[in-house]
Amino acid sequence: MTWWLTSAFSILKTSIKRFFRDYRTKCHILSIEIRDEATNRPSVEIFKNKWFNKFAKHEGISDSALLEAIDAAERGLIDADYGGGVIKQRIARPGEGKSGGYRSVILFRSGDKAFFVFGFAKSARANISRVEERDFKDLSKEVFSLSETTLQTLIKRGAFVPVKRYEKSKNL
């Protein structure tokens, strides 16, 4: 651990002790995020599978909208957690809000990787089925067990597409 990180943790530990001493409350949640210095986003590798990439292009969903969904998930703002590394996040339609927008199924491991694997418009369907949920959980096990070499091979073959981190938002 670098000296500045050790120092930051000791300062944080001291301030937490002081907080609990001064405010005798029952429950507090502490969240520490490690963020990319250039973008101030969570340092998570984010990918789209080939199907989701086509869906996003067809619907006009920008990579920045996907980054916002993962940023929210990293902060604990998950719309639906199916368990087994599968979550559902809402994505706003370009120029509109999230409520009538899109739903995305993401294979997600906080602080590690996220894979957008399925999406649908809320107007087209309400949710995924139990069978689809089970299939996504099985897929999550397989994807998160891939070695880095295998993942890079799949990226080269076009099975996964990295999400661009510095794209300007088209959803604004």
Where does the chain show beta strands of DSSP type E? 45-49, 80-83, 86-91, 102-109, 113-121, 160-162
Task: Work out whether strand 113-121 and strand 102-109 pair parallel, antiparallel, or are unpaired.
Answer: antiparallel
- Spatial CA neighbour of 48 closest among 115, 110, 113, 109: 115
Q: Does residue 11 form part of some domain?
A: no
Which range of residues forms the domain containing residue 59? 45-159
The answer as to whether 87 is a domain residue is yes
Average pLDDT for the chain: 79
Q: What is the pLDDT of residue 20?
A: 47
pLDDT tens-digit map of 82-121 = 999 999 999 988 777 677 789 999 999 999 999 999 999 9
Residue 25 lies in a domain: no
114-134: average pLDDT: 93
Q: Are 31 and 74 in contact (CB under 8 A)?
A: no
Q: What is the pLDDT of residues 6-53, one digit of tens each?
A: 444 444 444 444 444 444 444 443 333 445 555 555 479 999 999 999
Q: Rounded CA gap, 65 and 168, in Å?
A: 10
* Total domains present in the chain: 1
In a domain, 122, yes or no: yes
Domain presence at residue 33: no
